[in-house]
Structure 1
Amino acid sequence: MEMISLEYPAIELPEQLRNRSLSIAIGHFDGVHRGHRNVIEQVVATAKRTGGLSAVMTFNPHPKEVLGRGDQYYNCLTPLAVKQSLFAELGVDLVLVVKFDHDFAAIMPEQFVDEVLRRLGAAQIVVGFDFNFGYKGQGNAATMKALCEPDIQVEIVEPLYDNGLKVSSTYIRQALSDGDIELATKLLGRPYELAGTVVHGDGRGSSIGFPTANVDVSLPYVMPRLGVFGISAVVLGKSYYGVLNHGMKPTFNKEDIRPVLEAHLFDFHQAIYDEPIRLQFHSFIRPEQRFSGVDELIRQIHADAQQAKRQFGVE
């Protein structure tokens, strides 16, 4: 899979890709959830059927962040590098990353079709039913169809529902905020994941018999609610089950600090400072709480670990 950065008005593919038939899925695709995959899989299937290339066009940064209508969109379910990896798993040939700035936000729907899609040589476009584009979102899926056809075919994918609610990035963000990990997993079609690096902590976990990997997350992920979770972690090329505390460590910290991620991995005893680690969230065990002392904390951590082991079937 190849990633190509584009910036309006200089919309142009590398020479070796010109004159190739492109089937393009368009959207921000934060989370690459089950609904997004319906759109992307249709593009991949169309490209295979027609002998062309499948492409995903996404925008960076998030349009709402640029337009000042959603500071929360700085944090993502899937930062750009993670989205690219998921697109590759779905069989996409090209990822077209369009820089979203105020100049791009000001173009009219007709310009988007003529000066972006036609210039790229698009043959088929696939969008979700709620897709909007152009200045102030004036264009929608029906507009796209009217402006593109007959020379560019447009397919509009209907929404995917779960228990009467549309599968969406907003719904998943809310599930993570609520600690509803099972729902987030169901909507994503996979466990929610964070990637980071193991860093030095205060060493308190080892001193009480529960050594932890302190994880620094540099990419702008959406973080789940504060509390304790059943997780799996991929480190040094292997996967391990464990428990993770996302919080302020209130038993020891009396002042407000930045929330930290501390993962205790079962039957794991290696030093992994500065190693990359991926955390997958499987269950919410309990909210974070302050304990009266170290002994009460140790008993609760043991109970948390036993609960997670039962859930994973690894007792």
Structure 2
Amino acid sequence: MKTYRLYYPNDLSIENEPIALALGFFDGLHLGHQQVIDTMIEIAEEKGLKKAVMTFDPHPSVVLNPKMRRTTYITPLKEKEEMLKEKGIDYLFVVNFSSDFAALSHDTFVKEYLISNNVKEVIAGFDFSYGQYGKGSITTLKTYDEFNTTKVLPINENEEKISTTKIRELLLSDKLEEANKILGRPYQINGVVVQGEKRGRTIGFRTANIEPSGPFLLPSLGVYAVTMTIGADDTIYRGVASIGKKPTFHEDYKVTIEVHLIDFDRTIYGEEVSVYLHNYLRGEKKFDGLDDLIEAMTIDKENAIQLLEKFE
């Protein structure tokens, strides 16, 4: 997959073959996003076009709504890029969403970012908007003769539209399993194993401290049943993750991710890992002492083993 980073003004001359293009921010690449992208792939293969996706960076709220700006993501750009590569996308266009870009008329956006890139088919969700004040829509895209436009209708779950906003709400309110269902996969956080306080090994629960490798949205503080992969090895390890501030030991501390892997005793500092969150076990709690903490961690481990039986 070839990735192009586009800025305003768009003076990058790309002599690519005719393409079908899926348009959207696509944070999370959830089931709704997958329907848009799969529709694009189907059209591209039917018409002999290259498969392309156009996304934006940073999130438009950084420019358009600073009070509600979104600076953490379900799939940061690097992860989004990898997932699209795995789907066999030929071209990824990453448009820098700046103040100047946000001020473009919808017609200028179409001419300079779509038509100039040899787009012959445009596929987007029913609510996609673009151009200054969001005046561009699926309806305006359909007025251009240079390409065909396909509108993809929303997917609903329990009569509510699947959306990135909904998934974020679920992740932040102890509803991991519901979030995973509409994501279409377990929520994933990638990172690097770094040195920690090394307290876990003294109480029989050695942990790997994970430093996220990008601006991932961290779910609600608590304990989770997880699996983890290490580096390029596709071996799946089961474990328990604590995402929190260690209130038993600190009055005020940064949020950390610690993973205790079951039946695992290797030193893996510096390794790149992927942590997959399968089940929410309990909220973060301040314990009166080590004995209470160890008892709770033992129960957490037993619960995780039962929930993750299929990964044995």
Provide the TM-score with structure 2 as the length reference: 0.96
Give the equivalent residue in structure 2 for 1:4. Answer: 4
Give the equivalent residue in structure 1 for 2:294. Answer: 298
The alignment covers a number of residue pairs equal to 309
Amino acid at match of 1:88: K
Pick closer, same or farther for the CA change 1:43–1:119 going to 2, 3 Å. same
Range 74-83 or range 114-123, more displaced: 114-123
In the TM superposition, residue 47 of structure 1 has moved relative to its aligned partner by 1.2
In the TM superposition, residue 119 of structure 1 has moved relative to its aligned partner by 0.8
Pick closer, same or farther for the CA change 1:90–1:282 going to 2, 3 Å. same
Range 241-250 or range 106-115, more displaced: 106-115
Equivalent residue of 1:203, what SS? coil
Equivalent residue of 2:295, what SS? helix
Query: Conserved in 1, the CA contact under 8 Å of 2:188 and 2:274?
Result: yes
Amino acid at match of 1:106: A
Range 105-114 or range 226-235, more displaced: 105-114
In the TM superposition, residue 242 of structure 1 has moved relative to its aligned partner by 0.4
Give the equivalent residue in structure 2 for 1:271. Answer: 267
Equivalent residue of 1:23, what SS? strand
Distance in structure 2 (CA, Å) of the matches to 1:109 and 1:138? 7
Give the equivalent residue in structure 2 for 1:209. Answer: 204
Query: Conserved in 2, the CA contact under 8 Å of 1:11 and 1:116?
Result: no
Equivalent residue of 2:216, what SS? coil
Distance in structure 1 (CA, Å) of the matches to 2:146 and 2:290? 70
Pick closer, same or farther for the CA change 1:155–1:167 going to 2, 3 Å. same
Give the equivalent residue in structure 1 for 2:120. Answer: 123
Q: Deviations over 1:70-93 (max 9, x none)?
A: 544110110111001111122211
Question: Structure 2 stretches of 5 or more lacking a match?
Answer: none
In the TM superposition, residue 292 of structure 1 has moved relative to its aligned partner by 1.2
The answer to whether residue 84 in structure 2 is matched with residue 87 in structure 1 is yes
Give the equivalent residue in structure 2 for 1:163. Answer: 158
Distance in structure 1 (CA, Å) of the matches to 2:256 and 2:50? 43
Q: Deviations over 1:221-274 (max 9, x none)?
A: 111000000000111412201001111111111x21111111000010000011
Q: Counterparts of 1:219-238 in structure 2 under 5 Å?
A: 219-236=214-231, 237=233, 238=235
Give the equivalent residue in structure 1 for 2:133. Answer: 136
CA RMSD of superposed structures (Å): 1.3
Amino acid at match of 1:302: T
Distance in structure 1 (CA, Å) of the matches to 2:68 and 2:81? 23
The answer to whether residue 73 in structure 2 is matched with residue 76 in structure 1 is yes
Distance in structure 1 (CA, Å) of the matches to 2:13 and 2:27? 24
Question: Structure 1 stretches of 5 or more lacking a match?
Answer: none
Q: 1:106 aligns with which of 103, 108, 118?
A: 103
Q: 1:62 aligns with which of 36, 59, 63?
A: 59
Pick closer, same or farther for the CA change 1:139–1:191 going to 2, 3 Å. same
Q: Deviations over 1:91-149 (max 9, x none)?
A: 21110011111111111111111222111111000010000100010111112112x2x
In the TM superposition, residue 204 of structure 1 has moved relative to its aligned partner by 0.7
Q: Counterparts of 1:183-202 in structure 2 under 5 Å?
A: 183-202=178-197
In the TM superposition, residue 191 of structure 1 has moved relative to its aligned partner by 0.5
In the TM superposition, residue 64 of structure 1 has moved relative to its aligned partner by 0.9
Distance in structure 2 (CA, Å) of the matches to 1:152 and 1:12? 20
Distance in structure 2 (CA, Å) of the matches to 1:109 and 1:203? 55
Equivalent residue of 2:70, what SS? helix
Equivalent residue of 1:202, what SS? coil
Amino acid at match of 2:7: E
Distance in structure 1 (CA, Å) of the matches to 2:69 and 2:248? 29
Distance in structure 1 (CA, Å) of the matches to 2:296 and 2:93? 48
**What is the percent sequence identity of the aligned residues?**
38
In the TM superposition, residue 34 of structure 1 has moved relative to its aligned partner by 0.5
In the TM superposition, residue 55 of structure 1 has moved relative to its aligned partner by 0.5
Amino acid at match of 1:225: S
Q: Deviations over 1:137-195 (max 9, x none)?
A: 0111112112x2x3310000000000011100000000100121111111110110001
Equivalent residue of 2:38, what SS? helix
Distance in structure 2 (CA, Å) of the matches to 1:185 and 1:144? 33
Distance in structure 2 (CA, Å) of the matches to 1:184 and 1:25? 24
In the TM superposition, residue 300 of structure 1 has moved relative to its aligned partner by 0.7
Query: Conserved in 1, the CA contact under 8 Å of 2:187 and 2:277?
Result: yes
